[in-house]
């Protein structure tokens, strides 16, 4: 009987340990693991020294600093952002993840700390002014992104949509002419247009405007609440607007609260 | 950590997965056929007496065998359009797979040809056989028989390695799996399913290729 009680106690302790609050664990271990992108300008890129840099990276660095813990960046590609958090490889993903109802079924979103537009980018000579003009065109999209979720819905039936695993490959397809146009964030479109002036790439029209936020595993409410507090305070003190302007050259849109 | 497996979603999307698997099978089978032809031609040239031709084949084999397949695909799909050669994703994938397999097959078959004793070829000459007949019956067939198991392994490796063609937007099994897991977030289930399908495909290819080997070589020896 005593043995049984010991076993039951041990079991209870185990369950308690498994459900230990993530924020506590982060503070205790003095380390937060954040899933980040380094192939998606201006959110995350590798600088000339091979170090991650960008709008989201700046936010991540500040977040770890405010928590007072060391930062471990888990570099992922766009399709791996949510799986990395669900599989426990990272405590939180801060990687330009736009809020969608589908995603919210699997992970928990914090309040948005930025906003972006999804546009169709194409060479200046290509006549695309609205969704209807995508008829008969080949459009490249990146898997696991907001453009993958929104562009097919507005595209006409005879628009051929092809998918790539990585935004840099999608951009390569656009630059090499393998696709007539590509769906991507307005920043990405601006960045590649600036870098490839000869190709005369431009944003043709805005598909949607989206708010991006940090995501955590469902149930990590303590961590989620701390991040919400962090977003609120850094909206007030101008930090978020500052990094947004620094990395995009644009003014931070008004960020509503959930 | 809690994770509840939901394989129902895999069954719902099975037609899509099988559609992707079909492209993998089709491209792999074609690449095996063309790659084998390239391999036989390459091996014939690299054991010929022309120093120039040997050098060209040598360069082809070394460049392909010492560079990543993914980079080869990117060059075909993204770089060749700059000089006016534009391929669709599946065409580029087939071309890349054929070129890649051709290099490995050349090397494997060359090894087989070089294992044929010179005396055997001299015997053919002594019998008054023509050069083409000597190559076909005395050199190539016995050589292929010796290296066939190695060739089959390379074919299977090519089929498994074809998973990277999803990177250039070919809708193969890996591409379909990636799309499904990125929209459903059930990555475990879909990657498990893809693993199982690849495994079955590899077994299937091995069975068919072993059968083909039996038809080509064993039966002849027996009769």
- What is the domain-level CATH number for residue B187? 1.10.3720.10
Whether the CB of B75 is below 8 Å from some CB of chain A: the reply is no
ipTM, 2 dp: 0.71
Distance from CA of A93 to the nearest CA of B (A): 14
Residue carrying the six token digits 């292929």: B144
- Residue B97's pLDDT is 97
Helix, strand or coil, per DSSP, at residue A203: strand
> Which strands form A201-212's sheet, in the order they lie side by side?
A160-164, A138-142, A181-185, A114-123, A201-212
CA–CA separation, B44 vs B105, rounded Å? Answer: 12
Of the candidates B16, B166, B195, the residue with the CA atom closest to the CA atom of residue A142: B166
Split at pLDDT 50, 70, 90, the class of A41 is confident
What is the total count of domains within chain B?
1
Compute φ and ψ for B25, nearest 5 degrees: -65, -45
> Hey, of A78, A83, A89, which one would you mutate to test binding to chain B, going by the most B CBs within 10 A of its CB?
A83
B208 in a domain, yes or no? yes
Whether pLDDT at A19 is above 90: no
B2 in a domain, yes or no? no
Whether pLDDT at A15 is above 60: no
Which range marks the domain in which residue B201 is found?
A: 8-222
Residue carrying the six token digits 């994938």: B93
B144 in a domain, yes or no? yes
- When the pLDDT of each residue in chain A is averaged and rounded to a whole number, the result is 89
Q: Is A169 in contact with B167 (CB distance < 8 Å)?
A: yes
B3 in a domain, yes or no? no
Percent of chain A predicted with pLDDT > 70: 92
Which long-range CB contacts under 8 A does B195-204 form with residues at least 24 apart? Answer: B197/B17, B197/B18, B197/B21, B197/B173, B198/B160, B198/B163, B198/B173, B201/B21, B201/B24, B201/B25, B201/B159, B202/B156, B202/B159, B202/B160
Chain B CB contacts of A106 below 8 Å: 185
Q: DSSP code of B48? A: S
Residue B169 token pair = 């937007």
B172 in a domain, yes or no? yes
Residues in chain A: 258
Chain B CB contacts of A143 below 8 Å: 178-179, 182
B125 in a domain, yes or no? yes
- Alpha carbon B182 to its chain's center: 29
Chain A CB contacts of B6 below 8 Å: none
- Alpha carbon B87 to its chain's center: 20
Residue A207 token pair = 């598909």
Whether pLDDT at A2 is above 80: no
Closest residue in A to B172 (Cα) is A163
Distance from CA of A162 to the nearest CA of B (A): 6
Q: Is A184 in contact with A118 (CB distance < 8 Å)?
A: yes
Whether the CB of A172 is below 8 Å from some CB of chain B: the reply is yes
> Hey, of B16, B169, B186, B189, which one would you mutate to test binding to chain A, going by the most A CBs within 10 A of its CB?
B169
Nearest to A178 among B81, B175, B179 (CB): B81
- Burial classification of residue A57, based on how many CB atoms lie within 10 Å of its CB (0-12 exposed, 13-18 middle, 19 or more buried): buried
B148 in a domain, yes or no? yes
B1 in a domain, yes or no? no
Between chains, do B86 and A178 touch, taking CB under 8 Å as contact? yes
CA–CA separation, A154 vs A50, rounded Å? Answer: 38
What global pTM score does this model have? 0.71
Count of CB contacts below 8 A, A vs B? Answer: 60
Whether pLDDT at A212 is above 50: yes
Q: Report the Cα–Cα distance between both ends of chain B, in Å, rounded.
A: 62
Nearest to A162 among B1, B86, B169 (CB): B169
Helix axes B14-46, B51-65, angle to 10 degrees: 150
Whether pLDDT at A17 is above 60: no
Tens of pLDDT, residue by residue over B112-147, are 999 999 898 889 889 988 888 888 888 999 999 999
| Average pLDDT rounded to a whole number, residues A2-11 | 60
CA–CA separation, A203 vs A206, rounded Å? Answer: 8
Between chains, do A177 and B81 touch, taking CB under 8 Å as contact? yes
Whether the CB of A163 is below 8 Å from some CB of chain B: the reply is yes
H or E, element range at A9: helix A2-18
Chain A CB contacts of B82 below 8 Å: 176
- Alpha carbon B82 to its chain's center: 27
Strands A114-123 and A181-185: antiparallel
Whether pLDDT at A10 is above 60: no
What burial letters (b/e) apply to A25-52, b meaning 16+ CB within 10 Å?
Answer: bbeeeeebbbbbbbbbbbbbbeeeeeeb
Percent of chain B predicted with pLDDT > 90: 69
**A18-22, A52-56, A247-251: least confident range:** A18-22
Between chains, do A103 and B77 touch, taking CB under 8 Å as contact? no
Tens of pLDDT, residue by residue over B10-43, are 889 999 999 999 999 999 999 999 999 999 999 9
Nearest to B179 among A107, A163, A173 (CB): A163
Residue B168 token pair = 């250039």
């Amino acid at each position: 009987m005593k043995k049984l009680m010991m076993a039951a106690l041990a079991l209870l302790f185990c369950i308690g340990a498994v459900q230990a609050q993530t924020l506590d664990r982060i503070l205790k271990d003095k380390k937060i693991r954040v899933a980040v992108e380094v192939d998606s300008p201006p959110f995350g890129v590798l600088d000339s020294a091979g170090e991650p840099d960008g709008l989201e990276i700046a936010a991540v660095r500040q977040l770890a600093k405010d928590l007072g813990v060391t930062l471990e960046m888990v570099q992922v590609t766009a399709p791996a952002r949510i799986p990395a958090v669900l599989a426990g490889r990272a405590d939180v993903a801060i990687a330009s993840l736009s809020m969608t109802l589908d995603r919210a079924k699997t992970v928990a979103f914090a309040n948005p700390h930025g906003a972006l537009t999804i546009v169709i980018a194409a060479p200046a000579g290509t006549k695309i002014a609205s969704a209807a003009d995508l008829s008969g065109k080949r459009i490249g999209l990146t898997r696991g992104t907001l453009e993958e979720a929104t562009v097919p819905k507005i595209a006409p039936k005879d628009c051929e949509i092809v998918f790539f695993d990585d935004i840099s490959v999608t951009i390569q397809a656009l630059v090499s002419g393998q696709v007539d146009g590509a769906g991507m964030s307005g920043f990405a479109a601006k960045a590649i247009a600036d870098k490839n002036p000869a190709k005369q790439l431009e944003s043709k029209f805005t598909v949607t405007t989206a708010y991006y936020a940090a995501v955590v595993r469902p149930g990590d409410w303590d961590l989620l609440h701390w991040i919400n507090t962090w977003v609120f305070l850094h909206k007030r003190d101008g930090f978020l607007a500052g990094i947004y302007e620094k990395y995009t050259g644009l003014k931070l849109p008004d960020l509503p609260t959930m | 950590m809690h994770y509840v497996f939901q394989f129902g979603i895999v069954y719902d999307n099975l037609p899509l997965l099988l559609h992707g698997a079909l492209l993998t099978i089709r491209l792999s089978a074609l690449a095996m056929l063309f790659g084998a032809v390239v391999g036989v031609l390459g091996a014939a040239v690299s054991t010929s007496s022309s120093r120039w031709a040997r050098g060209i084949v040598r360069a082809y084999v070394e460049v392909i065998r010492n560079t990543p397949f993914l980079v080869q695909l990117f060059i075909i799909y993204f770089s060749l359009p700059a000089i006016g050669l534009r391929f669709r994703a599946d065409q580029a994938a087939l071309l890349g797979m054929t070129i890649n397999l051709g290099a490995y097959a050349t090397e494997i078959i060359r090894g087989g040809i070089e294992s044929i004793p010179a005396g055997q070829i001299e015997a053919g000459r002594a019998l008054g056989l023509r050069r083409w007949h000597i190559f076909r019956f005395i050199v190539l067939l016995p050589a292929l028989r010796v290296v066939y198991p190695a060739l089959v392994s390379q074919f299977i490796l090519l089929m498994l390695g074809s998973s990277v063609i999803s990177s250039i937007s070919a809708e193969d099994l890996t591409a379909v799996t990636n799309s499904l897991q990125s929209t459903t977030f059930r990555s475990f289930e879909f990657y498990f399913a893809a693993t199982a399908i690849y495994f079955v495909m590899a077994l299937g290819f091995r069975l068919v290729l072993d059968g083909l080997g039996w038809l080509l070589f064993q039966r002849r020896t027996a009769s």
